[in-house]
């Protein structure tokens, strides 16, 4: 498998890639840099939008623009006009927390989790933002929320706590958006911890391992199907893109890497790409 550097963006904390099938473009964020970024696959040009505060994750909307999970809450953003509008700040009284990973389900709800900004305490929660803009807390006692994904049949929801080093599976009820029957899906070992994920069309979960130098493809039963070594220590998330959704994009970080580490891994913080033999699924869009 040939791994290439698609964007030499050198993000401190690149995260949350999403492929827009309408635009044939990749969007992702640099949390530490407060930037939303867009890579046009045809022109290979990159556009960056500076946000009013750290932006952790987002989802495309069915109409236009996107919904964001910023440091302190949810907001709408229109990239073409750079119009920005706050929706809700569910943890306005918890100053130590910030939002982290998020994704949209097939029914058009946006899910995102919060975390202790230092990444050491279990003060976070998992929230669901519905199309009518109501906010629901779905889990609490979360360390570092990551890896939100749904099986193609919408019966299983995946959610990782990086602080635990575990990915969990839940029963998922698509009509109501309810989750139940939390159970261990996989537990990772040193040095890597589970970060962001993507589901392919066969129902396998592709997970980027923070500090693990790799992406792992897990079968629905939790067994390892394949391991893809990477030339970067801190891959953060992945997404399927390209005309046939067989291009895997992987974001990464330079966070806490010493100068000697950066010299040894010059692609750190960039967006990596590779061709894979299975297609992904189009990114779900927010219905609100």
Count Cβ atoms below 10 Å from residue 246 Cβ, excluding itself: 17
Please indicate whether residue 105 is annotated as part of the active site: no
Q: Which residues pair with 61 in a beta bridge?
A: 286
Task: Report how far residue 111's alpha carbon sits from residue 126's, in angstroms, rounded to the nearest whole number.
Answer: 7
Contacts of 153 (CB under 8 A, 6+ apart): 203
* In the block, residue with structure tokens 């939002």: 99
Please, are residues 269 and 15 in contact by the beta-carbon 8 Å criterion? Answer: no
Q: 267 and 27 in contact (C-beta within 8 Å)?
A: no
Q: Which residues of 35-52 are buried (b: 16+ CB within 10 A; e: fewer)?
A: bbbbbebeeeeeeebebe
Check if the beta carbon of residue 18 is closer than 8 Å to that of residue 252. Answer: no
d(CA 158, CA 244): 24
Active-site residue, from 30, 116, 161, 195: 195
For residue 204 the two structure tokens come to 């396998």
Task: Tell me which residues are annotated as active site.
Answer: 195
């Amino acid at each position: 498998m040939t791994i290439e550097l698609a964007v030499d963006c050198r993000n401190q904390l690149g995260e949350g890639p999403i492929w827009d099938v309408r635009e044939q473009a990749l969007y992702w964020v640099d949390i530490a840099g407060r930037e939303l970024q867009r890579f046009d696959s045809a022109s290979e040009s990159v556009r960056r939008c500076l946000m009013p505060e750290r932006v952790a994750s987002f989802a495309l909307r069915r109409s236009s623009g996107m919904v964001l999970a910023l440091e302190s809450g949810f907001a709408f953003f229109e990239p073409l006009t750079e119009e920005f509008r706050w929706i809700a700040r569910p943890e306005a009284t918890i100053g130590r927390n910030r939002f982290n990973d998020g994704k949209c389900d097939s029914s058009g709800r946006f899910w995102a989790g919060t975390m202790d900004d230092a990444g050491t305490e279990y003060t976070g929660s998992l929230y669901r933002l519905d199309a009518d803009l109501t906010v629901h807390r779905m889990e609490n006692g979360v360390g570092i929320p990551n890896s939100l994904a749904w099986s193609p049949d919408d019966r299983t929801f995946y959610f990782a706590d990086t602080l635990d080093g575990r990915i969990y599976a839940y029963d998922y009820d698509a009509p109501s958006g309810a989750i139940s029957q939390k159970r261990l899906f996989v537990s990772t070992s040193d040095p890597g911890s589970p970060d962001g994920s993507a589901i392919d069309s066969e129902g396998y979960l592709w997970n980027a391992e923070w500090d693990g130098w790799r992406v792992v493809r897990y079968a629905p039963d939790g067994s390892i199907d394949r391991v893809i070594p990477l030339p970067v220590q801190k891959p953060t998330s992945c997404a399927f893109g390209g005309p046939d959704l067989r291009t895997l994009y992987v974001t990464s970080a330079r966070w806490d890497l010493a100068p000697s580490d950066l010299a040894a891994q010059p692609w750190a913080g960039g967006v990596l790409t590779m061709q894979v033999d299975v297609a992904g699924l189009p990114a779900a869009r927010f219905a609100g």
